[in-house]
């Protein structure tokens, strides 16, 4: 039993690195987890998911001022000026305190700056304003995962999946948390479901990522693989 656990731990490290790299690539979602390299704060993939709680960048009550602030934040974010984006978004939420999307995006910027507790607080506010905010629950889970707080991370992923069972990123994040807690079969099941969802959405990059993780997990305990 101890030998198996020791063998597994040697694999956990690369999976964790993969998770963190996905956080950086996906934007708040990586695969788990989600905050991006060169993507706008509101990622196109969010629209592709067609989530019931889909967050639109522009609301029914959108105004030129709101749009401008969001666009400015996106521009600063994509330039890597996270502090500038944070300042812009703080102005935004002060001007539009009931705007859940603004709080969510502020959380993303804080997450990028490793201001974890502040980010969680802001995500919670977004959820208070919009209870069925699956992306925000997933984002909180990603923060916990980045701190190896796996049980807490899984709790948040489950909340996201209760809202949207076909949320591919949350399924993948959940699977990696399951794997980290030695629940291999459940992890594989979650990954397979995420893979099918990404295939149906024609998201080839995500399909490749999940297939890579599946392969590594499946071969982790295979004695024939050196």
Q: Which tens digits make up the pLDDT trace of 79-131?
A: 889 999 999 999 999 999 999 999 999 999 999 999 999 999 999 999 999 99
Which CATH number applies to 8-38+63-220: 3.40.50.620, 3.40.50.720, 3.40.50.880, 1.25.40.10? 1.25.40.10
pLDDT score recorded for residue 63: 80
The model's confidence at residue 144, banded by pLDDT at 50, 70 and 90, is very high
Q: What's the pTM?
A: 0.76
More confident residue, 137 or 12: 137
More confident residue, 129 or 25: 129
More confident residue, 8 or 141: 141
Q: Which two tokens stand for residue 205?
A: 């990059």
More confident residue, 8 or 145: 145
Mean residue pLDDT across the chain: 78
pLDDT score recorded for residue 78: 87
Once rounded to an integer, what is the mean pLDDT over residues 24-52? 34
pLDDT score recorded for residue 68: 86
List the domain boundaries for the chain.
8-38+63-220
pLDDT score recorded for residue 48: 32
Q: What percent of the chain has pLDDT over 70?
A: 70
Q: What percent of the chain has pLDDT over 90?
A: 60
Is residue 210 classed exposed, middle or buried when 0-12, 13-18 and 19+ CB atoms within 10 A define those classes?
A: buried
Q: Crossing angle, helix 184-200 and helix 168-180, to 10 degrees?
A: 160
Distance CA 48, CA 14 (A): 29
């Amino acid at each position: 039993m101890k030998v198996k656990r020791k063998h597994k731990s040697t694999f956990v490290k690369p999976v964790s690195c993969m998770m963190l790299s996905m956080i950086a690539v996906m934007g708040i979602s990586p695969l788990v987890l989600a905050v991006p390299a060169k993507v706008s704060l509101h990622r196109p993939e969010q629209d592709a998911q067609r989530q019931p709680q889909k967050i639109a960048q522009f609301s029914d009550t959108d105004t030129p001022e709101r749009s401008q602030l969001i666009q400015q934040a996106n521009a600063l974010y994509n330039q890597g000026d996270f502090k500038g984006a944070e300042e812009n978004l703080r102005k935004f939420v002060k001007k539009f305190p009931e705007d859940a999307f603004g709080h969510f995006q502020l959380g993303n910027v804080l997450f990028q700056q490793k201001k974890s507790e502040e980010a969680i607080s802001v995500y919670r506010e977004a959820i208070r304003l919009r209870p069925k905010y699956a992306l925000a629950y997933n984002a909180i889970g990603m923060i916990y995962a980045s701190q190896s707080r796996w049980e807490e991370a899984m709790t948040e992923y489950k909340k996201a999946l209760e809202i949207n069972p076909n949320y591919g990123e949350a399924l993948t994040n959940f699977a990696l948390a399951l794997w980290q807690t030695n629940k291999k079969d459940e992890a594989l099941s979650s990954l397979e479901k995420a893979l099918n969802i990404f295939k149906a959405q024609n998201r080839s990059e995500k399909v490749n990522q999940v297939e890579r993780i599946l392969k590594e997990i499946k071969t982790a305990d295979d004695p024939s693989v050196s």
